[in-house]
Amino acid sequence: MPDTSLRPIGKIVRLQLQRSTLSLGEKPNRYYDPSPLMAVSELTLTPQGALARLPEGDVFDVHNANHPNSKNADGENDLSVNFTSHYAAIRERFGNGDHLYNGCGGENILVAGEGRLPLEAVAPGIAIRSAKTGDLIWLRGVVVAHPCQPFSKYASHATEPEAIKQALQFLDDGRRGFYCALAETQITTVAVGDEVFLST
């Protein structure tokens, strides 16, 4: 019997790792470079963050607490999620440049979604149904991933302070994505094509 407390949003269309930080340089000349992103077909989720198990060895996301140069903020940003509809809104605002491809913001999990998904919609938790096992994997502790100035400049191509400020405001409130954490303590794996749900 289907769980009527869950509302399907869409399927995972991209999984990726940040092998190193995407914001480079020194203030006030920091800039954003998405080249360290690595797309994978499966992502292993742990209480410390995301990693990919590859034939040559494990590759840790930079927000994984076990990454040698970890940017993990005491568990608040273990994992990150965003939606294709948010990227559509970003392109509509800033133009359809090649640099604004789905996933350029660096989230671990990108879900095909429709419309705006504010914090209130995702705060109760995000559930992923594994196509391989049928298990529900819950992501909890959902908070807004506030945009950084380098990404805002990257997305908007803005150089003037007021234009950068407006870009920051537009990308906030979840449009840039959300941070979250694995609810369970056991290690699990998600894959491209797995279905994603929100609590009703």
pLDDT band at 4 (very low <50, low <70, confident <90, very high): low
pLDDT of residue 3: 60
Q: Is residue 198 part of a domain?
A: no
Are the beta carbons of 50 and 59 closer than 8 angstroms?
no
CATH number of the domain encompassing residue 171? 2.40.33.20
d(Cα 66, Cα 131) in Å, to the nearest integer?
A: 28
Which structure tokens are listed for 190? 């998600």
Q: Is residue 195 part of a domain?
A: no
Total domains in the fold of the chain: 1
Q: Is residue 199 part of a domain?
A: no
Is pLDDT above 50 for 60?
A: yes
Q: 41: domain range?
A: 6-187
Q: Is residue 112 part of a domain?
A: yes
Q: Is residue 192 part of a domain?
A: no
d(Cα 79, Cα 63) in Å, to the nearest integer?
A: 7
Q: Is residue 1 part of a domain?
A: no
pLDDT of residue 114: 93
Q: Is residue 34 part of a domain?
A: yes
d(Cα 160, Cα 91) in Å, to the nearest integer?
A: 20
| pLDDT 10s digits, 117-171 | 999 999 999 999 999 999 999 999 999 999 999 999 999 999 999 999 999 999 9
Q: Beta-carbon neighbour count of residue 134 at 10 Å? A: 7
pLDDT band at 1 (very low <50, low <70, confident <90, very high): very low
| pLDDT 10s digits, 175-194 | 999 999 999 888 999 999 99
d(Cα 21, Cα 63) in Å, to the nearest integer?
A: 9
Q: Is residue 194 part of a domain?
A: no
